[in-house]
Structure 1
Amino acid sequence: MNSSAARIIHSVLFSLKHSQGSEQERRFLEDGRTILTSIPVVNDFQVFRQVSPKNDYDFGFSMVFNDRTDYETYNNHPAHAAFVSERWEQEVEKFLEIDYEAI
Protein backbone atom coordinates (compact mmCIF):
# COMPACT_ATOMS: atom_id res chain seq x y z
CA MET A 1 0.00 0.00 0.00
CA ASN A 2 1.46 3.39 -0.90
CA SER A 3 1.68 6.38 1.43
CA SER A 4 -1.25 8.17 -0.20
CA ALA A 5 -3.67 5.30 0.49
CA ALA A 6 -5.22 7.06 3.48
CA ARG A 7 -5.96 10.22 1.48
CA ILE A 8 -9.55 10.68 0.35
CA ILE A 9 -10.51 12.52 -2.82
CA HIS A 10 -14.02 13.90 -2.37
CA SER A 11 -15.77 14.90 -5.59
CA VAL A 12 -19.26 15.98 -6.32
CA LEU A 13 -20.73 16.49 -9.79
CA PHE A 14 -23.76 18.73 -9.93
CA SER A 15 -26.12 20.92 -11.91
CA LEU A 16 -27.64 24.11 -10.59
CA LYS A 17 -31.20 25.38 -10.83
CA HIS A 18 -29.78 28.70 -12.11
CA SER A 19 -29.48 29.67 -15.75
CA GLN A 20 -26.11 28.96 -17.34
CA GLY A 21 -23.86 32.00 -17.20
CA SER A 22 -26.08 33.77 -14.67
CA GLU A 23 -24.90 35.86 -11.75
CA GLN A 24 -26.53 33.33 -9.40
CA GLU A 25 -24.47 30.53 -10.95
CA ARG A 26 -21.25 32.52 -10.64
CA ARG A 27 -22.02 33.47 -7.06
CA PHE A 28 -22.79 29.87 -6.03
CA LEU A 29 -19.49 28.59 -7.45
CA GLU A 30 -17.52 31.46 -5.92
CA ASP A 31 -19.22 31.14 -2.53
CA GLY A 32 -18.70 27.38 -2.56
CA ARG A 33 -14.98 27.88 -3.09
CA THR A 34 -14.73 30.57 -0.40
CA ILE A 35 -16.81 28.78 2.23
CA LEU A 36 -15.49 25.26 1.75
CA THR A 37 -11.82 26.28 1.55
CA SER A 38 -12.24 28.13 4.85
CA ILE A 39 -12.42 24.68 6.51
CA PRO A 40 -8.83 23.92 7.58
CA VAL A 41 -8.83 20.21 6.62
CA VAL A 42 -9.75 20.90 2.96
CA ASN A 43 -6.81 20.51 0.57
CA ASP A 44 -6.49 21.04 -3.19
CA PHE A 45 -10.03 22.40 -3.65
CA GLN A 46 -10.98 22.83 -7.30
CA VAL A 47 -14.06 23.91 -9.21
CA PHE A 48 -14.66 22.34 -12.61
CA ARG A 49 -16.96 22.92 -15.54
CA GLN A 50 -17.99 19.56 -17.00
CA VAL A 51 -17.27 19.32 -20.74
CA SER A 52 -17.97 15.69 -21.66
CA PRO A 53 -21.15 14.78 -23.55
CA LYS A 54 -21.16 11.47 -21.61
CA ASN A 55 -23.09 12.86 -18.64
CA ASP A 56 -25.47 15.72 -17.98
CA TYR A 57 -23.93 17.36 -14.91
CA ASP A 58 -22.57 20.88 -15.37
CA PHE A 59 -19.99 21.38 -12.61
CA GLY A 60 -17.75 19.64 -10.15
CA PHE A 61 -16.16 20.40 -6.81
CA SER A 62 -13.14 18.32 -5.83
CA MET A 63 -11.03 18.34 -2.68
CA VAL A 64 -8.58 16.10 -0.86
CA PHE A 65 -8.50 15.04 2.78
CA ASN A 66 -5.41 13.60 4.46
CA ASP A 67 -7.40 10.81 6.12
CA ARG A 68 -10.85 9.69 7.24
CA THR A 69 -10.64 11.83 10.39
CA ASP A 70 -10.22 14.97 8.28
CA TYR A 71 -13.04 13.81 6.00
CA GLU A 72 -15.37 13.41 8.97
CA THR A 73 -14.23 16.75 10.39
CA TYR A 74 -15.22 18.37 7.08
CA ASN A 75 -18.59 16.62 6.96
CA ASN A 76 -19.43 17.78 10.48
CA HIS A 77 -17.94 21.26 10.23
CA PRO A 78 -20.47 24.09 10.84
CA ALA A 79 -19.41 25.92 7.64
CA HIS A 80 -20.05 22.79 5.56
CA ALA A 81 -23.37 22.09 7.26
CA ALA A 82 -24.50 25.69 6.72
CA PHE A 83 -23.46 25.66 3.05
CA VAL A 84 -25.39 22.43 2.48
CA SER A 85 -28.57 23.58 4.23
CA GLU A 86 -28.56 27.23 3.13
CA ARG A 87 -27.20 26.98 -0.40
CA TRP A 88 -26.75 23.41 -1.71
CA GLU A 89 -30.24 22.13 -0.87
CA GLN A 90 -31.80 25.31 -2.29
CA GLU A 91 -29.76 25.79 -5.48
CA VAL A 92 -28.57 22.37 -6.69
CA GLU A 93 -30.88 20.55 -9.06
CA LYS A 94 -29.08 17.19 -9.03
CA PHE A 95 -25.75 15.76 -7.93
CA LEU A 96 -23.54 12.71 -7.72
CA GLU A 97 -21.03 12.41 -4.88
CA ILE A 98 -17.93 10.26 -5.27
CA ASP A 99 -15.29 9.61 -2.60
CA TYR A 100 -12.07 7.86 -3.56
CA GLU A 101 -9.33 6.30 -1.51
CA ALA A 102 -6.19 5.06 -3.28
CA ILE A 103 -5.52 1.31 -3.20
Structure 2
Amino acid sequence: MKVNKPIIHSAAFILKHDKGSDEEAAFMVKAWDMLACIPGVKDFRILEIINDSNPYDYELEMRFDNEEQLEAYKAHPNHWDQVNKKGFVEEVWVKEVKDFLEKDTVVIRK
Protein backbone atom coordinates (compact mmCIF):
# COMPACT_ATOMS: atom_id res chain seq x y z
CA MET A 1 0.00 0.00 0.00
CA LYS A 2 1.53 3.31 -1.09
CA VAL A 3 1.11 5.97 1.60
CA ASN A 4 1.68 9.66 0.98
CA LYS A 5 0.77 11.03 4.39
CA PRO A 6 2.51 11.08 7.78
CA ILE A 7 3.46 7.67 9.15
CA ILE A 8 4.16 6.79 12.76
CA HIS A 9 6.77 4.02 12.92
CA SER A 10 7.15 2.27 16.26
CA ALA A 11 8.58 -0.82 17.85
CA ALA A 12 7.48 -2.03 21.28
CA PHE A 13 10.05 -4.32 22.87
CA ILE A 14 11.44 -6.24 25.82
CA LEU A 15 15.17 -6.05 26.47
CA LYS A 16 17.34 -8.97 27.52
CA HIS A 17 18.75 -6.67 30.23
CA ASP A 18 17.32 -6.05 33.69
CA LYS A 19 15.24 -2.92 34.16
CA GLY A 20 17.34 -0.14 35.65
CA SER A 21 20.64 -1.77 34.62
CA ASP A 22 23.60 -0.01 33.05
CA GLU A 23 23.05 -2.16 29.94
CA GLU A 24 19.48 -0.93 29.65
CA ALA A 25 20.64 2.69 29.92
CA ALA A 26 23.36 2.08 27.31
CA PHE A 27 20.78 0.57 24.93
CA MET A 28 18.65 3.71 25.16
CA VAL A 29 21.65 5.95 24.46
CA LYS A 30 22.63 3.86 21.42
CA ALA A 31 19.06 3.96 20.10
CA TRP A 32 18.95 7.74 20.43
CA ASP A 33 22.43 8.33 19.02
CA MET A 34 22.06 6.01 16.03
CA LEU A 35 18.43 6.53 14.99
CA ALA A 36 17.27 10.04 15.92
CA CYS A 37 19.82 11.64 13.57
CA ILE A 38 18.74 9.76 10.43
CA PRO A 39 17.34 12.17 7.82
CA GLY A 40 13.54 12.23 7.74
CA VAL A 41 13.09 11.09 11.34
CA LYS A 42 10.81 13.45 13.26
CA ASP A 43 9.63 13.42 16.86
CA PHE A 44 11.89 10.51 17.86
CA ARG A 45 10.89 9.26 21.29
CA ILE A 46 11.85 6.46 23.64
CA LEU A 47 8.84 5.50 25.72
CA GLU A 48 8.26 3.29 28.74
CA ILE A 49 5.05 1.26 28.52
CA ILE A 50 3.21 1.44 31.84
CA ASN A 51 0.03 -0.62 31.43
CA ASP A 52 0.11 -4.19 32.77
CA SER A 53 -1.96 -5.60 29.91
CA ASN A 54 0.86 -4.95 27.43
CA PRO A 55 3.69 -7.53 27.49
CA TYR A 56 6.31 -5.02 26.26
CA ASP A 57 8.36 -2.66 28.43
CA TYR A 58 9.49 0.07 26.02
CA GLU A 59 8.74 1.59 22.65
CA LEU A 60 10.77 3.48 20.08
CA GLU A 61 8.52 5.85 18.17
CA MET A 62 9.15 8.29 15.34
CA ARG A 63 7.25 10.06 12.61
CA PHE A 64 7.89 10.39 8.89
CA ASP A 65 6.18 12.73 6.43
CA ASN A 66 5.55 9.92 3.96
CA GLU A 67 6.39 6.35 3.00
CA GLU A 68 9.39 7.43 0.94
CA GLN A 69 11.07 8.86 4.06
CA LEU A 70 10.26 5.71 6.04
CA GLU A 71 11.84 3.53 3.36
CA ALA A 72 14.93 5.79 3.26
CA TYR A 73 15.20 5.42 7.06
CA LYS A 74 15.01 1.62 6.82
CA ALA A 75 17.79 1.62 4.20
CA HIS A 76 20.02 4.10 6.06
CA PRO A 77 23.28 2.50 7.31
CA ASN A 78 22.69 3.77 10.86
CA HIS A 79 19.49 1.72 10.91
CA TRP A 80 20.52 -1.40 9.00
CA ASP A 81 23.42 -1.86 6.62
CA GLN A 82 22.47 -5.27 5.22
CA VAL A 83 25.61 -5.55 3.10
CA ASN A 84 28.15 -4.93 5.88
CA LYS A 85 25.96 -6.34 8.68
CA LYS A 86 26.20 -3.12 10.67
CA GLY A 87 23.90 -0.46 12.03
CA PHE A 88 21.50 -0.40 14.94
CA VAL A 89 19.57 -3.52 13.89
CA GLU A 90 22.63 -5.76 13.56
CA GLU A 91 24.88 -4.28 16.24
CA VAL A 92 22.34 -3.53 18.96
CA TRP A 93 18.74 -4.66 18.35
CA VAL A 94 19.39 -8.31 17.43
CA LYS A 95 21.80 -8.76 20.34
CA GLU A 96 19.86 -6.96 23.08
CA VAL A 97 16.12 -7.29 22.35
CA LYS A 98 14.28 -10.38 23.56
CA ASP A 99 10.92 -9.77 21.83
CA PHE A 100 9.24 -6.96 19.90
CA LEU A 101 6.25 -5.78 17.90
CA GLU A 102 6.88 -3.38 15.04
CA LYS A 103 4.10 -1.32 13.51
CA ASP A 104 3.56 1.49 11.04
CA THR A 105 0.39 3.53 11.46
CA VAL A 106 -1.32 6.58 10.00
CA VAL A 107 -3.80 8.88 11.68
CA ILE A 108 -7.30 8.42 10.32
CA ARG A 109 -8.93 11.02 12.53
CA LYS A 110 -7.80 13.65 15.05
Is 1:27 equivalent to 2:29 in the alignment? Answer: no
Q: Deviations over 1:7-48 (max 9, x none)?
A: 000011000000110000001011101110110110000011
Q: What is residue 73 of structure 1 aligned with on the other side?
A: 72
Segments of 5+ residues of structure 2 without an aligned counterpart are 81-86
Residue 47 of structure 2: aligned partner: 48
Could you tell me which amino acid in structure 2 is paired with residue 78 of structure 1? P
**C-alpha distance in 2 between matches for 1:87 and 1:33:** 12
TM-score by length of 1: 0.92
Q: Structure 1, unaligned stretches of length 5 or more?
A: none
Return the match for 2:93 from 88, 91, 95.
88
Identity, in percent, stands at 39
Q: State the aligned residue count.
A: 99
1:3-18 to 2 correspondence within 5 Å? 6-18=5-17
Instruction: Tell me which protein shows more helix as a share of its residues.
Output: 1
Alignment equivalent of 1:97, drawn from 88, 102, 108:
102
Runs of 4+ more than 6 Å apart:
none
Displacement of 1:98: 1.1
SS of the aligned residue for 2:38 comes to: coil
